[in-house]
Amino acid sequence: MRQFLKSARFKVLLVFLAFLVGIMIYAVTKGGYSLSGASFINTITKPFRTASNSIAARFESFTDKMNHADEYYEENQRLKEQIGELNKQLTDYDNLKEEVEELRKFVVIKEEHPDYIITQPCEVLGYVTNDPFHSFTIDRGSADDIFPYCPVVTAEGLIGITIDVSEHTSTVRTILSPDLSVASVSSATNADYGIIEGTVLTAENGSTKLTHLSTENSLKVGDLMITAGNSGLFPKGYAVGTVTDIGIEANGLSACAEIKPCVDITRLSSVVVITDFAGKKEDSDADQDLP
């Protein structure tokens, strides 16, 4: 200890402390205040008091958390339950909103086609495994007056036709399939007729093909193809898809076009089934028109 008091380090420390004291005295007297012993001590000890107050505040906060840990835990659990309930309500709201939107589409179809007899919106249960043409199953069947060869649609366009129907489910063949033929006409010209049939190549792009088209057609890219309605399988004038490309068949005898469906058939969540419409053929006749 004596060596430290005699050391140069201690002397430098004393000089530094004297310098700090001098600065404090100057700052106080410069402001026009007299420097009493109490104020001098307060000035000197202010940094220490500030630090101690900060430490005390932190310690108080820590002890408060420790003393009320059970209360905070219970409150946290209540808040988690409230958040869970709010999330459930939000999910219910989103589901209700989706149902309302589907019902709105249902109303639109009825308003635009008063001769249609249609089901309530049907939920798509899933797509048929390993089917490149995206056949799928819906949650309604014969109990909902659905039978084979009923057109399946959305408000935007034609999807396909029912093929296998049980009491509470139905399988739908889509317009991407080569096993379904749809007589169609251009809504722009009302004169360019053809048959929409899917192919493996077009189905890969989510499209289908218009065949048996006259080489003297006046189709343009972007034209809308609608159902011709002459087969009795589909109602007349329902949207099918738009022309994305026009060409000539390999045999050179007829033209063809690639058709993009009005609806993304690969991402369906719900559809509507048309069980009856003006001009519909009887089941026995419809059977003969399907491949």
Answer for the pair 28, 43: CB distance below 8 angstroms, yes or no.
yes
Please state the rounded mean pLDDT for residues 3-24: 62
pLDDT digits (tens, 9 = 90+) for 52-110: 566 656 666 666 656 666 676 677 778 777 787 777 777 665 655 665 666 676 777 87
pLDDT digits (tens, 9 = 90+) for 118-164: 998 899 999 999 999 999 999 999 999 999 999 999 999 999 999 99
Query: Amino acid identity of 117?
Result: I
Query: Amino acid identity of 225?
Result: M
pLDDT band, very low/low/confident/very high, at 35 (cuts 50, 70, 90): very low
What residues does 183 pair with on adjacent strands? 195
Strand, coil or helix: 86? helix
The pLDDT of residue 88 is 72
Residue keyed to tokens 């408000």 = 155
Pick the CATH number of 119-289 from 2.40.10.350, 1.10.10.10, 1.10.260.40, 1.10.287.110: 2.40.10.350
Number of helices and strands in the chain (H, E): 6, 13
What residues does 164 pair with on adjacent strands? 171
Domain definitions of the chain by residue range: 119-289
DSSP E strands in 7-121: the ranges are 117-118
pLDDT digits (tens, 9 = 90+) for 226-272: 999 888 899 999 999 999 999 999 888 899 999 999 999 999 999 99
Q: Is the pLDDT of residue 5 over 80?
A: no
Residue keyed to tokens 């380090």 = 9
164/148 Cα distance (integer angstroms): 6
